[in-house]
A and B are shown apart, each in its own frame.
Chain A
Amino acid sequence: ETGVTQTPRHLVMGMTNKKSLKCEQHLGHNAMYWYKQSAKKPLELMFVYSLEERVENNSVPSRFSPECPNSSHLFLHLHTLQPEDSALYLCASSQGSTVSNTEAFFGQGTRLTVV
């Protein structure tokens, strides 16, 4: 248990569906991150929120839409996804916005399957 909770743990959705992934932390962290991990590949950074502002968007398609309503919650809204978007989506948080000497904690991820 890292203190970062992701829901749901598993999600199967059709290409025309709209769904949202949720990430929650009550560690008092000020930075939150979304990563994508496709099969047998390293983690790819998607989005970074620092002090509730988006500071990085790594050329992610617009069918992925992040939202950070407050410092404890991060969402990833999904719509009209493609089968190649099937992957493990990981959320992390840290005090990285203000402290460089601090670790990030990861959630257990959401296993997404697009059919």
Chain B
Amino acid sequence: DAKTTQPPSMDCAEGRAANLPCNHSTISGNEYVYWYRQIHSQGPQYIIHGLKNNETNEMASLIITEDRKSSTLILPHATLRDTAVYYCIVRVVNQGGKLIFGQGTELSVKP
């Protein structure tokens, strides 16, 4: 299973963009990058995913480097409610498409 590396914690000022990096240098060509977040003791919430093109939805943008070895999740205007642990996951394509969670990045949005 391809592993991911994320910084353990980050701070962001409210209203500013939050840029969360992730390294996944062993990713295979057909594996997708997924981002989830978990707000204290709730179930993880899906944010976005991508294969090789940049993706954007109502929550965030995902920028994947051309070699696919790293990606960045961008929350364009962070709010206090975005304070959470953010997980970057490389999804296995077989075995039921399981998601293997790493340590994640604890994002604190401050007023």
Contacts and interface: CB of A to CB of B under 8 A. Distances in A.
A2 B41 CA distance: 16
A51 to B, nearest CB: 8
Contact of B100 (A4, A45, A101): A45
Interface residues of B, number: 24
> Which interface class (under 10, 10 to 19, 20 to 34, 35 or more) fits A?
20 to 34
A70 B49 CA distance: 28
Contacts, number: 75
A109 B42 contact: yes
A31 B99 CA distance: 11
A4 B45 CA distance: 12
Given A42-B103, A100-B32, A101-B32, A94 B44 contact: no
Contacts of A105: 46
A100 B97 contact: yes
A106 B97 contact: no
Given A42-B87, A42-B104, A106-B43, A96 B98 contact: yes
Interface string A28-72: 000101010000001111001110000110000000000000000
Contact of A48 (B41, B46, B93, B98): B98
B96 A49 contact: yes
Contacts of A104: 46, 97, 99
The 8 A-B residue pairs with the shortest CB-CB distance in the complex, in nearest-first order = A96-B97, A50-B96, A106-B43, A31-B96, A43-B101, A103-B46, A48-B96, A42-B101
